[in-house]
Structure 1
Amino acid sequence: MEKSPSVLTKQQILHATEETLRRFGLDKISVTDVAKVLGVSHGTIYRHFKSKSELLEGATEKWLDSKIVKPLTEVYQKAEMRGMDHLQAYIWTLIQLKQHYAREDAELFKIYAKVTEDSAELVSRHIGIIIEQMSEIISRGPIKTNRPDQLARAVFHATMRFHHPAHAYEWKSAAIEDEFLEVWGLIRKALS
């Protein structure tokens, strides 16, 4: 017996999509596979999501919010941290999260990388949250600037090699942490 579409929530569908992605992978997943996990017809999924693309974008947004933004927000909110040390801890957490999920949750990271190419709006929203939090960290510290948002964006871009999915193949290098510390040393010196 099929579940009632009115009882089925978007969150349940997105959770089932994550499970299905891990099982079949991005290249082989279908809306029908997700529907089977939920015990509904694929038409029921389409009542909540207009297309497979929209479904995958929703799963990516959920993944980004729970796996990246939530832990970053915890670092952002640490009141005992200040200035460059706080900013470094924030960026380093971003880097560690992205590198961890590239290794440990490869199928969902793969979809994140794919959606990064296809959905500028989702990526802009995600980056906007990060830039906003970094900007606030900068404005609370000793760094003197009239444009903390501009500085936050510059730091984000300067460290992109360490957290952008296009560079994931480089993260396997044993020297990647040392390379980040070299870049961070330059950023710290420039901002001091």
Structure 2
Amino acid sequence: MPTGRALDDARTLLLESGRRILAAEGAGALTSRSVTDRSGVAKGVLHRHFADFDAYLAALVAEDAERIRAIEPRAAGSAVDAVTDVIEQVFTPTTRALVALVISRDEVRRRVRAPGSYGIPLLMDATAVVIDVLAAGRDLGWLRPDAEVAALALALIGSAHLLYAGELGAFPDRAATHEVVESILVGSL
């Protein structure tokens, strides 16, 4: 007679548990034991779906990168508003914790970084989204035609990362994010 419970989609369950741990407790709380405990499964289930814990972390990062790449401004009347909205969508509690993991774990960073790419995964995905938003804003006349959107996007995401890298649960308000975005874009408006 089986002793375990049937799992419809253990992989999804494990990844969702990891996201919840990251959002609530931060990167330091994420271990294979915390994930399996939160999921209510045996530790062997994790290793049945992922070669090792770094593979599990890489899967979390890959899913978040996909989410980030799909971000679009929800509503905006200016480049500043559009970028502020995108930044607020990028820097969730889970993403903030995943960035910390990617920075601190070389093997995870190696696994998720595309060949020939540079920078910190997730932050570079966010930079690509902001480049697209700024290029569209330039086409709409929100930015000067000579605005260097790639350089601006790097400055915006780097600054946003510093702004959002605070205490667990503490996030800047929209006005603070808007002010940083506006101060970086002011010369290109």
Q: Fold conserved (TM > 0.5)?
A: yes
* Superposed counterparts of 1:64-103, under 5 Å: 64-66=65-67, 68-70=68-70, 72-75=71-74, 85=78, 87-97=79-89, 101=92
Residue matched to 1:113: 100
Q: Number of residues paired by the alignment?
A: 168
Identical columns (%) = 12
Residue matched to 1:154: 151
Tell me the TM-score normalised to structure 2 length. Answer: 0.63
- Cα RMSD for the two superposed structures: 3.7
Q: Alpha-carbon deviations, 1:53-100, whole Å to 9, x = none?
A: 22223223434544x555x3253xx6xx67xx2x3222111333456x
Residue matched to 2:118: none
Task: Give the aligned residue type for 1:157.
Answer: L
Task: Specify the SS of the correspondent of 2:165.
Answer: helix
List gaps (5 residues or longer) in structure 2.
114-120
Q: Does the aligned pair in 2 maintain the 1:14–1:62 contact within 8 Å?
A: no
Task: Give the aligned residue type for 2:159.
Answer: F
Equivalents in 1 of 2:178, 2:138: separation in Å?
27
Equivalents in 2 of 1:16, 1:46: separation in Å?
15
Task: Give the aligned residue type for 2:72.
Answer: T
* Superposed counterparts of 1:26-65, under 5 Å: 26-65=27-66
Task: Give the aligned residue type for 2:97.
Answer: K
1:110 deviation in Å? 2.5
Q: Does the aligned pair in 2 maintain the 1:13–1:45 contact within 8 Å?
A: yes
Tell me the TM-score normalised to structure 1 length. Answer: 0.63
Equivalents in 2 of 1:22, 1:181: separation in Å?
28
Task: Give the aligned residue type for 1:56.
Answer: L
Distance 1:69 1:93, change over 3 A: farther
List gaps (5 residues or longer) in structure 1.
none
1:111 deviation in Å? 2.9
Residue matched to 1:137: 136
Distance 1:8 1:177, change over 3 A: closer
Equivalents in 2 of 1:63, 1:57: separation in Å?
10
1:18 deviation in Å? 1.8
